[in-house]
Amino acid sequence: MSLRRMTALEVDPKLASALTERLRGANVDVIEGSATAMPFMDAEFSGAVSFTMLHHVPSRALQDKVLREVFRVLRPGGFFLGSDSRQSLLMRLIHLGDTLVPVDPNGFGQRLETVGFEVHAIEKVNEVFRFCARRPTFEKDRASLE
């Protein structure tokens, strides 16, 4: 039986260090780096998740770069799942003095499709939205290039 591993990418050096210490001995590798330029090989991962972090990326263009990077590091058939906060007065107040570039769930599916993902679901639930997208299989990737 092979041991499954998880990789966590953290942009903040102090948080990456603290996370490394907290997860010492676990099956998690903590890597310090930016989601806009991931230090991973193409098609290295079977899945990727993003929880309530996209709105912290400082521009829509950089958010789209994150989406392209996730697509790049996912294997064909790999899923990209996540959630993020919806824009609200409370969200704006919580982020005073912090980066806040809200992600509009109504247009997020199109943004994922533009990168190349198949969108399986985008659900708006109260103050958050959830999404499920998949990198198409190799055959579909190749067929779209021909």
Q: Domain residue spans in the chain?
A: 1-33, 36-145
Average pLDDT, the chain: 90
Strands 118-125 and 128-134: antiparallel
Side chain identity, residue 11: V
Instruction: Read off the pLDDT of each residue in 14-36 and give the average, rounded to a whole number.
Output: 95
- Give me the amino acid identity at 86: R
Distance, CA of 63 to CA of 72 (rounded, Å): 14
Contact 65, 98 (CB under 8 A): no
pLDDT at 91 over 50: yes
pLDDT of residue 1: 42
Q: What is the pLDDT of residue 103?
A: 94
Q: Which CATH class is domain 36-145?
A: alpha beta
Contact at 8 Å (CB) between 6 and 28? Answer: yes
Retrieve residue 57's tokens: 């990326």
Does 3 score more than 60 pLDDT? no
Q: And the tokens for 42? A: 């193409």
Asked if the model's pLDDT at residue 5 lies above 60, the reply is yes
